[in-house]
Amino acid sequence: MTNKRSIVAVDDSMIILRMLEKLLSKEYVFHAFSKGMRALKYLKDEGRPDLIILDIEMPEIDGFKMLEMIRQKDELKEVPVLFLTSNRDKDHVVKAIEGGANDYTLKPIDEEVFMDKVRKLLKEDKISWGDV
């Protein structure tokens, strides 16, 4: 049994999923899905991850609809959701936050900014009391 936190990422780009796996799998248990419906089935069957990362524009089911479905499920209501998208439309940002997303970041991924957002959403600080 691992004590690592778990992250589920949904993006139709295998390149992005591989990049996320490279960034996240050393510190977290990482589950990647290229199809939204498969990710929703996993969430239904396997339970609650510590963070969900969603792309907005996907062919099968978009990130907004996925977010809506996630927020309707009692055991997932409090799971932080980070949108990761190439869409720079401010209306999308507003729609994402109003829909219940906790944060929003753009592609291409700035690794440092992205990891900072992930840690903040997981409420992890790099500095501990031992560092003070």
For 5-48, the pLDDT digits (tens) are: 999 999 999 999 999 999 999 999 999 999 999 999 999 999 89
- Is the pLDDT assigned to residue 77 strictly greater than 80? yes
> What is the span of the domain harbouring residue 12?
6-131
In a domain, 44, yes or no: yes
Report the domain count for the chain. 1
Mean of all residue pLDDT scores within the chain: 91
In a domain, 1, yes or no: no
Burial letters 64-97, b for 16+ CB under 10 A, else e:
bebbeebbeeeebeebbbbbbbebeeeebbebbe
Read off the CATH number of the domain in which 61 is found.
3.40.50.2300
Residue 34 covered by a domain: yes
**How many helices (H) and strands (E) are present in the chain, helices listed first?**
5, 5
pLDDT at 131 over 50: no
Q: How confident is the model at residue 87 (pLDDT cuts 50, 70, 90)?
A: confident
